Amino acid sequence: EGVFFSTLEEANAPSIVEVTFVDKDEEVIEKQFVKKGQYAIPPVPPIYDGLAFCGWDHDIYNITENITIKATYTTGTNSYVGKKFAILGDSISTYPYPTADVNDVNQTWWMQSINQLGGRLFVNNSYSGSCVSTGGSSATTNDARLAQLKIGQEEPDVIIIYMGSNDCASAYIGVDSFQSSYKIMMEKIKRLCQNSEIIVCTLPTTTFYNKQDQASYNQVI
């Protein structure tokens, strides 16, 4: 009772698998050995004139066997390959996600975005329940939190801001207060990370607030 036995074949099965990343011409970029069922860390994909990297042709998580993963491209440009991304957000951008429906970091929206762009995660500065406007982890009033967008003196190349859902759902934060706070937050971030590109995300549709409030807050963003 409580003791489980493996077959000889199971006991001797390799627990490490090989992941080979290749470019569009099947040339090897990098090989990695990962524990079975875990994820690989994709390398920076090659850059080609006139082509935009648009992701890998296979999931990089829950890898259970030796596999070759190929870089894919489309006509165009992608200026984010190799860049360092910082995320500023609330529970939507945390990991593990509170609902526990995401069991690998590469399933989160932000890692999917970074991997598809060929970027690198620099820092995830996300706090569950946090607002732009108020509270201890507010992105406006908590300068110590904003300072964590940097590592030492190193800045991210790109900052993605996905905040405001908790403000919109709050009975204590009005749209005017949100607008004032969002402006202050942006000004502080621009002073702190002067060379970073900033991308702001509008609010998702949810049952926590109505569509009219969502539209008003999105207009502020």
User: What is the pLDDT averaged over residues 199-218?
Assistant: 97
User: What is the pLDDT averaged over residues 111-124?
Assistant: 97
Q: How many CB atoms lie within 10 A of CB 30?
A: 14
Q: Which residue has the tokens 């509170």?
A: 98
CA 135 to chain centre: 24
Q: What DSSP element (H or E) covers 187?
A: helix 175-192
The pTM for the full model equals 0.90
pLDDT score for 99: 61
Radius of gyration of the chain (CA): 21
Q: What tens digit of pLDDT does each residue of 120-134 get? A: 999 999 999 999 998
Q: Could you tell me the pLDDT band of residue 97, with boundaries at 50, 70 and 90? A: low
Q: Which of 113, 93, 115, 95 is nearest to 103 (CA)?
A: 95
pLDDT above 80 for 2: no
